[in-house]
Amino acid sequence: MSTKKKIEPADMEAQLERAFQPVQPSRTFVKTVRGRIQRIAPSVVVASHPASDVPHLLLVIGGVLSALLLLAAGARALFYMLNKAKM
């Protein structure tokens, strides 16, 4: 008589152990990519994202805002003087 039996977790693990055998990339491939890493210009590697330098970013934003404020004040003074001259 033929009946059915559940696969035990241990058997399942043994099957997985057999299925997953470590594989090695070819030496040619490993050497080629290693060579590519060496050839990349250092400037590409060390270039940091500008947004990651927060104090520098704040300084730039502050500088731009100050310059705009200065321009606005200058323009306001100019208009004031022109209007005064007309009157």
Q: What residues make contact with another protein under the rule CB under 8 A?
A: 1-7, 9, 12-13, 15-26, 29-30, 32-34, 36-38, 40, 42, 44-49, 52
How many other CB atoms are there within 10 angstroms of residue 19's CB atom? 7
Least Cβ distance, residue 86 to another protein (angstroms) = 58
- Comparison of 29 and 80: residue with beta carbon closer to another protein: 29
- At its nearest, how many Å lie between another protein and the CB of residue 54? 13
- In the bound state with another protein, the residue whose beta carbon lies nearer, of 20 and 87, is 20
Question: Which pair of tokens denotes residue 11?
Answer: 């058997």
CA distance 44 to 53: 17
Which lies closer to another protein via its Cβ, residue 57 or residue 81? Answer: 57
- Our CA angle for 56, 62, 68, nearest 5°, is 140
40 DSSP 8-state letter: S
